[in-house]
Structure formats: structure tokens, C-alpha cells
Amino acid sequence: MIKIMMSMTAALIISMGLMFVCTVISKTTNMDREKMSPFECGFDPKSSARSPFSLQFFLIAILFLIFDIEIAIILPMIVTMKTSNIMSWAVTMTVFMMILIIGLYYEWKNGMLEWAF
């Protein structure tokens, strides 16, 4: 119990000491209106909050996430091929790939992959 209390005390002293040293040696900054305003995602906070956002960009980002997750699922399937039944592995992999290919074909035919200006 003493060791835990000593460890907690040491951690508290070290963290408080570091905070004190950082405030002492930190450079003072001029806090003007520009620096105090929030900055999020590259949008200028002084403009309208309802700035237009490209829906096409959003769809491409969602496609990227889907295919990124696909890679994360396929890579372990390659490793498990040696230890599993080859027939069930092949059926699972074929069904998985066919679902992804059909989804990609659907998006391509509906024009979701074409960047509109």
C-alpha cells in the first residue's frame, strides 16, 4: 500500500512540477480576436456557417472508407487460408468479392464515381 501511495505522490509531484516549469518558460502570446476564434477543418469561422460542401467529395470519401475496410478484412483471410477448409474459404472469399464488385459496378453505372464540376 505504501508503494502505491509513494508512486501516486511521485507522479503528482512530477506532473505538477512539469506544469509549473512549462508556464514559467512558455512564451507569452498576444491574444487578439483572430487567435481566439475557433479554427476547424480548414473552414474560415468568420464566413457563413452554411458554406457549401461537395456531396461528390463525401461519396468518394465513403467509397474510400469502404474499400479501406475491405483490405483490412481480406488480409487476414489470406493468412487463414492455410488453416481452414479450402472449399469454405473459397466460397466465403468469392461471395465477399462479388458483393464488393457488384457494389462498385452499381456506383459506376449511377455515375457516383464521376467528379462533377
Domains of the chain, residue spans: 52-109
Other CB atoms within 10 A of residue 83 CB: 7
Strands (E), the chain: none
* Model confidence, pTM: 0.47
CB 78 within 8 A of CB 92: no
pLDDT of residue 17: 94
Enter the DSSP assignment of 80: T
Which cell numbers hold the place of 108?
459506376
Return per-residue pLDDT of the chain as tens, 117 residues.
888 899 999 999 999 999 999 888 877 666 666 666 666 665 555 555 566 667 777 778 888 888 888 888 888 888 888 888 889 888 988 998 898 889 888 888 887 777 765
CA distance 93 to 85: 12
pLDDT at 42: 58
Supply the Cα-derived Rg of the chain in whole angstroms: 27
